[in-house]
Chains A and B, each alone.
Chain A
Amino acid sequence: MNLVSLALRNLKRRPTRTCLSVLGIGLAVGSALALIALSRSIHDSTREAMREIGDDLVVMQKGASDIFGGFIPEQTIERIAAIPGIIRVSGELVAFVPGSIANTGLTFGWPDASYLWKKVPLRDGRVPGNGERHVAVLGDTAAALLGKKLNDELDLFGETFRVVGIAGYASIINRGLVLVPLADLQEASYRPRQVTVAHVNVEHGDDPVELGRIQREIETVGNVVAAPASEVLDHDRNFTILGAVALAVAIIAVVMSALNVLTALVITTQERTREIGIFAAIGWSNGRIVKSIVIEGMLMCVIGCGVGVLLSYLAAYAFPRVPTIGHLISFRPSVGLIAPVILAAIVLCGLGALLPAWRAVRMLPAEALRRM
């Protein structure tokens, strides 16, 4: 027997206490992981959606408070397309779907000849043909939520649209999209010859110098700014607010989890005060006693962290299946998130075991032995 096997025996032979403590740590770690991942998910989902549809650069109105808040005249798109080094440009009008299908999210209007149509990962059907009006392609989640399949009719902005395609996008936001011809959406939203953003495909998109040059040239066209798709959200006021909310949620999650971990360990160690008195009475040094308590705490912490990661993955699996909200937000705890949370849990567990153990060994053994 050594200190590790002693700790293992103690844990094994007190199954209720061990399970409750491990569960406490696991819930704390799991909820921290899930809440932080969830708080990041809106931002991440939107970024992922932009990457999936967009291209090298996204152009938006200068001074617009958010990505959907500005409007660009279609003539500007034509002038951007003339800049050397740009292969293709497509305008995009964005509107929130009103009425009974608000839950499905956004409607995008693309020009008939837009290259964005060619990038749609069709799961079923086709994209609108040239000049075709009042037709729509639905993301698979939108189709499922609306109960629509190919050739069904869909009421949108007071007009009837026919479903001609079902798209199989990967990002949760794009899966809830409704894609319609730009002309239809311009008409329905009273925005003739206007788009919300423009997607730009550059010849040497992987060359940052070239990308920078084109970005500057686009901005000389007038009243527009251009940014890579991954950075465009950084200038968006709504997403800045969302980011702040996400950070606040993450801080609350971390603080609550830290308190849970500390409580679980402090209670476990305080229950052992009498045992600590016995160790002292048989001649164990303070260092040895503290080491044995900390080893036991750390073993529980390691198991608890494993349980926590498992719980967070279970939550990530179950969350998208929650009716009414599951299709809007998804999250997955990444290794980059798990590592710091586990590290923090280990530090907290160490402190949670160390502090009460240190307090207990400073107590006179006779006093510790009187504790129940």
Chain B
Amino acid sequence: MIEANDWNAGSDRSSGARSLIALRGVSRIYDGGAIAALRNVDLQIREGDCVAVVGASGSGKSSLVNILCGIDYPSSGHVIWEGRPIRTKRDWVRLRRLRIGIVFQEFNLIPTLTALENVELALLGRGLSAKHRYTRAGMVLGRVGLDHRPHHLVTRLSGGERQRVAIARAIVSEPKLLLADEPTGNLDSASAVKIADLLFELREMTGMTLILVTHDDMLAARCNRQVRLRDGIVVEDTLQALISGTLVARSKA
């Protein structure tokens, strides 16, 4: 706990923004040590940040995102949410229900349900009436530009439309953190641009924190911070560079 507060306090001193989520010494090992997806990663994400996580295939980007949303656990190290280490599965379930939205490259929608029902799923178990859930899911679908096809099965929607449904499902709980793992990876270029625009628009409108995993340098450049991974290690973080002056120095040069 003391370590967490220290970490948090450090972030406040450096930037003035509150730390939303942080990794402290996180490693992720698979196959009994044969594969190290992440090695001793320290990373702090502040409230309102827009962070692009970039790197080659196999660099550990998806492992990082999975650990940031608790759908995978670190082999060692801690994840800290708003200054408090997350220790239990129950904590993670609560965070994903209320505070963290996830958008996947493969959409991960329930194929037997309609667009509206997929969005409504994320509201089940929150003590809302059926009518309220229905209205809210419809409203959020409208926000992502799908108000004309709420009752279509998701299998009958285009890739871009499916990703809009996934985004609507991720933001319907008004999360503080939106994690998007290669959200444009399965889309044609026109749809990819629209989805990217939508994500940035939503972030602008809501002020939520966005962590975007991408291969696309142009897309990464639209974020105000880039974190580059190589072989499970953070090799570049533009925020840290800015703080330590190297980026300023580089830009002056």
Segment from A51-59, A153-161, A362-370 that makes contact with B: A362-370
CB–CB B71/A283 < 8 A? no
CB–CB A281/B102 < 8 A? yes
Q: Does B33 contact A (CB under 8 A)?
A: no
**Shortest CB–CB separation between residue B251 and chain A, in angstroms?**
38
| Chain A positions 336 through 372: 1 when the CB is less than 8 Å from some CB of chain B, otherwise 0 | 0000000000000000000000000000111101000
CB–CB B71/A10 < 8 A? no
Task: Take A285-B125, A364-B71, A364-B72 as given contacts and tell me if A1 and B112 are in contact as well, using a CB distance cutoff of 8 Å.
Answer: no
The residues of B that contact A285 with a CB separation of less than 8 Å are: 90, 93, 125
Q: How far is the CA of A3 from the CA of B121 in the complex (A)?
A: 10
The residues of A that contact B104 with a CB separation of less than 8 Å are: 281, 369
CB–CB A283/B122 < 8 A? yes
The residues of A that contact B112 with a CB separation of less than 8 Å are: 9-10, 13-14
Q: Does A324 contact B (CB under 8 A)?
A: no
Q: Does A115 contact B (CB under 8 A)?
A: no
Q: Does A256 contact B (CB under 8 A)?
A: no
CB–CB A283/B108 < 8 A? no
| Chain B positions 48 through 87: 1 when the CB is less than 8 Å from some CB of chain A, otherwise 0 | 0000000000000000001001011100000000000000
**Shortest CB–CB separation between residue A250 and chain B, in angstroms?**
39
Q: Does B173 contact A (CB under 8 A)?
A: yes
Q: Does A288 contact B (CB under 8 A)?
A: yes
Q: How far is the CA of A140 from the CA of B82 in the complex (A)?
A: 88
Interface range, A side: 20 to 34
The residues of A that contact B134 with a CB separation of less than 8 Å are: 1
The residues of A that contact B90 with a CB separation of less than 8 Å are: 285
Set B95, B110, B133: member contacting A278, Cβ < 8 A: B110
CB–CB B71/A280 < 8 A? yes
The residues in B between 148 and 201 inclusive whose CB is less than 8 angstroms from any CB of A are 153, 169, 173
**Shortest CB–CB separation between residue A242 and chain B, in angstroms?**
50
Interface of A is mostly: helix
Set A277, A278, A364: member contacting B73, Cβ < 8 A: A364
Q: Does B94 contact A (CB under 8 A)?
A: yes
Task: Take A2-B130, A369-B108 as given contacts and tell me if A283 and B98 are in contact as well, using a CB distance cutoff of 8 Å.
Answer: yes
The residues of A that contact B117 with a CB separation of less than 8 Å are: 1, 6, 9
Q: How far is the CA of A288 from the CA of B66 in the complex (A)?
A: 22
Which residue of chain B has its CB nearest to the CB of A10?
Answer: B112
Q: Does B9 contact A (CB under 8 A)?
A: no
CB–CB A365/B110 < 8 A? no
Q: How far is the CA of A1 from the CA of B116 in the complex (A)?
A: 10
Which residue of chain A has its CB nearest to the CB of B134?
Answer: A1
Which residue of chain A has its CB nearest to the CB of B117?
Answer: A1
Interface range, B side: 20 to 34
CB–CB A281/B108 < 8 A? yes
Q: How far is the CA of A1 from the CA of B115 in the complex (A)?
A: 13
Q: Does A275 contact B (CB under 8 A)?
A: yes
Most-contacted residue by chain B among A10, A283, A366 (CB, 10 A): A283
The residues of A that contact B93 with a CB separation of less than 8 Å are: 280, 283-286
Q: How far is the CA of A2 from the CA of B125 in the complex (A)?
A: 9
Task: Take A1-B130, A14-B112 as given contacts and tell me if A366 and B71 are in contact as well, using a CB distance cutoff of 8 Å.
Answer: yes
CB–CB B169/A9 < 8 A? no
The residues of B that contact A284 with a CB separation of less than 8 Å are: 93, 97, 124-125
The residues of B that contact A9 with a CB separation of less than 8 Å are: 112-113, 117
Q: Does A282 contact B (CB under 8 A)?
A: yes
CB–CB B124/A2 < 8 A? yes
The residues of B that contact A278 with a CB separation of less than 8 Å are: 108-110
Most-contacted residue by chain B among A284, A366, A369 (CB, 10 A): A366
Q: Does B96 contact A (CB under 8 A)?
A: yes
Which residue of chain B has its CB nearest to the CB of A369?
Answer: B108
CB–CB A1/B71 < 8 A? no
**Shortest CB–CB separation between residue B83 and chain A, in angstroms?**
21
**Shortest CB–CB separation between residue A103 and chain B, in angstroms?**
54
The residues of B that contact A367 with a CB separation of less than 8 Å are: 72
CB–CB A275/B125 < 8 A? no
**Shortest CB–CB separation between residue B88 and chain A, in angstroms?**
12
**Shortest CB–CB separation between residue B17 and chain A, in angstroms?**
26
Set A13, A275, A281: member contacting B71, Cβ < 8 A: A281
**Shortest CB–CB separation between residue B181 and chain A, in angstroms?**
10
**Shortest CB–CB separation between residue B36 and chain A, in angstroms?**
16
CB–CB A13/B153 < 8 A? yes
Q: How far is the CA of A279 from the CA of B102 in the complex (A)?
A: 12
Task: Take A9-B112, A283-B98, A284-B93 as given contacts and tell me if A365 and B71 are in contact as well, using a CB distance cutoff of 8 Å.
Answer: yes
Q: How far is the CA of A279 from the CA of B89 in the complex (A)?
A: 14
The residues in A between 293 and 340 inclusive whose CB is less than 8 angstroms from any CB of B are none
Q: How far is the CA of A284 from the CA of B89 in the complex (A)?
A: 11
Which residue of chain B has its CB nearest to the CB of A279?
Answer: B121
Task: Take A13-B112, A283-B94, A284-B93 as given contacts and tell me if A3 and B124 are in contact as well, using a CB distance cutoff of 8 Å.
Answer: yes
The residues of B that contact A274 with a CB separation of less than 8 Å are: 108
CB–CB A366/B72 < 8 A? yes
Q: How far is the CA of A10 from the CA of B111 in the complex (A)?
A: 9
CB–CB A275/B130 < 8 A? no
5 contacts between A and B (CB under 8 A): A1-B121, A2-B124, A281-B102, A284-B93, A366-B72
**Inter-chain pairs besides A1-B120, A369-B71, 9 sampled, C-beta below 8 Å:** A1-B133, A2-B124, A277-B108, A281-B104, A282-B169, A284-B124, A284-B125, A286-B93, A364-B72
Residues on B lying within 8 angstroms of A by beta carbon are: 66, 69, 71-73, 89-90, 93-98, 100, 102, 104, 108-110, 112-113, 117, 120-122, 124-125, 130, 133-134, 153, 169, 173
Residues on A lying within 8 angstroms of B by beta carbon are: 1-3, 6, 9-10, 13-14, 274-275, 277-286, 288, 364-367, 369
Closest 6 CB pairs of A and B: A283-B97, A283-B96, A365-B71, A13-B112, A366-B72, A366-B71
